[in-house]
A and B are shown apart, each in its own frame.
Chain A
Amino acid sequence: MKPSVSLVLISIVSVLVVFVSPMLGLDMEVSAEIQQRIMNEIRIPRVLFAFVAGSGLALCGMVFQAMFHNPLATPFTLGVASGASLGAAIYVSLGLSFSFLGINGTSFAAFSGALLAISIVYGISRFRQGFSTETLLLTGVAISFFFSSLILFTQYLSNVTDSFRILRWLMGELSIVGYRDLMQLLPIVTICIAVIIWLSRELNLLMAGDDIAISRGVAVKQVRYILFFSTSMCVGAIVALCGPIGFIGMMVPHICRLIIGTDHRWLIPASIMFGGGFLVVCDTIARLIIAPAEIPVGVITTLLGGPFFLWLLIRSRSKTA
């Protein structure tokens, strides 16, 4: 199938999902007026928020996979998300509260954590010449563990309320209310998308390996720093608002690549649409499966993502063997 056709199909499905999701699980016993209010004030902003967050996560995953030529390299496996979580957890437990340019302080804290994590991971894996993706992934795993224990430590030092807030948020939840959170996220994800579209040709060349990319004229170092910065910003903002929702950044771009090929001019819009639609579906499941209670959406994505990760791992092993 042509990439354009696949992209249109993916987009149609995603848009349908966005329209159908808010209607599912409406309580029929309440009045039409209350139903309308639930729709407008809770369901619709929540679905839109899920879509934007899913797009952002999928896109950041796509960028990492392209930069490191490995489907296992994503902001989550490389510790960027744990860095963001740590930043946000410290912010919450210190009881800080500030905002800048209308953007919440949690986002800045998460952004700093994300940037710190990627600097450490990338710095270590470049420390010895002969940079290998294996070193990068293992460093990422180690940093993730290290940051996770720091998060637990932060949580242990916090009071019971904050501790529960951190715990709940670490599971990844989307039970947001109103358009305020959406407006926090939308500008940052939009900027990130714009930067990535701007660099789509560079991403294509990076998939051919650093040496070829450089010989074709790509200023690889600068491009990489710009991408680290903008994806950290995006992951930071998403993690700050809804916790580390795992595995979307790994699954979605990889599936898109299987469907649509490796050209980022098609892959970017496909990842945006698929990622958004996918998180909306996961959130709908999380909302409905034990209704009226909800489970954190991160639990759903991780339940789907774990086996997917293993499948990728086994497949890439059998390919190289």
Chain B
Amino acid sequence: MSTLIDCHEISLAIGNKTLIENISFTVNKGDYLCILGPNGAGKSSLLKSLMGILPVSQGELVINNKSISDYSQKQLSQLISYVPQASGRQLPFTVLDFVKMARYPFHSALSDWQPADQQALEDAFDITNTGQFCERQMSTLSGGECQRVMIAAALCQQSPVLLLDEPTSFLDPHHQVEVHRLIQTLNHQHQITIIEVSHDLNHASQHSKQILALKEGQTLWQGAANNFLEANRLRALYDQDFVFIDHPQTGAKIALPDEQS
């Protein structure tokens, strides 16, 4: 397996405030990494530094065997795409215009829309099943529809790595499942490497491959996802006691907040 992203002891600070400190991890092609942790742990900041939105202040961030600082933003966005936290419904575009704009890194100011662009656009609509929203304004979509369109736009960028920042927060259970299934499809069938920031520990432990648990900007635990759910670890991470049961259908271990603590 080839290493796509290699983070070596990276830190990230803004002014005097350290957001993340000494974090190391590697992501291979086809991986599915979930970043967990309480609010303010630095999860989103870490994701943003992978996208070049926030600069790494220390350590080395190597993407595809090349330091992130050696990439132009356009080159980087051909390798990595990003779905930010729910904000899509404030965008003043139609769905079609918004998704089409994701072809930016493949164009210069003068180049025309190519058959390859059209193919990427149609594929993105097909995979996410969002083609029917084409003509709609982003502001008229429901939360679940909007999240699928945001993913479609990122897919239209055709990058091998997809970053998602809490893609299912604010969604109802049905749409949470729908978006999670979509992400799994991308990972399994389309070999897209996923890095997801999440608060859904059961989803992460069942469906992702690796977990990186952050607390106050530092790594609390990292390892294979199916080893993650463990009482002491969760208490240390969230300052909350958990109990465990088995999923009646799959037998997978499920964590529930301890009602007696």
Does A pair with B? Answer: yes
Q: List 20 A-B contacts (CB under 8 A).
A: A129-B14, A198-B109, A204-B97, A205-B101, A208-B91, A208-B93, A208-B98, A209-B91, A210-B53, A211-B48, A211-B53, A215-B51, A215-B84, A216-B77, A216-B105, A216-B157, A217-B75, A217-B77, A220-B73, A262-B93
Complex contacts, A128 vs chain B, CB 8 Å: 15
Contact of B105 (CB < 8 Å), options: A208, A217, A263? A217
CA distance A163 to B63 in the complex (A): 61
CA distance A208 to B153 in the complex (A): 12
Q: A219 contacts the other chain (Cβ, under 8 Å)?
A: yes
Of chain B, the residue at the smallest CB distance from A213 is B104
Complex contacts, A216 vs chain B, CB 8 Å: 77, 101-102, 104-105, 157
User: What is the distance, in angstroms, from A223's C-beta to the closest C-beta of chain B?
Assistant: 10
A214-262 interface (Cβ within 8 A of B): 214-220, 262
- A201–B102 contact, CB under 8 A? no
Question: Which residue numbers of A lie inside 8 Å of B, CB to CB?
Answer: 128-129, 198-201, 204-205, 207-212, 214-220, 262-263
Q: B82 contacts the other chain (Cβ, under 8 Å)?
A: yes
Contact of A217 (CB < 8 Å), options: B73, B87, B93? B73
Question: Which residue numbers of B lie inside 8 Å of A, CB to CB?
Answer: 14-15, 17, 48, 51-53, 72-78, 80-82, 84, 87, 91-93, 97-98, 101-102, 104-105, 107, 109, 154, 157, 163
- A209–B97 contact, CB under 8 A? no
- B92–A207 contact, CB under 8 A? yes
CA distance A262 to B91 in the complex (A): 10
- A201–B15 contact, CB under 8 A? no
- A262–B87 contact, CB under 8 A? no
Complex contacts, B97 vs chain A, CB 8 Å: 204, 262-263
CA distance A207 to B93 in the complex (A): 9
User: What is the distance, in angstroms, from A215's C-beta to the closest C-beta of chain B?
Assistant: 4
- A212–B84 contact, CB under 8 A? yes
User: What is the distance, in angstroms, from A249's C-beta to the closest C-beta of chain B?
Assistant: 19
CA distance A219 to B92 in the complex (A): 21
CA distance A52 to B186 in the complex (A): 52
Complex contacts, B15 vs chain A, CB 8 Å: 128-129
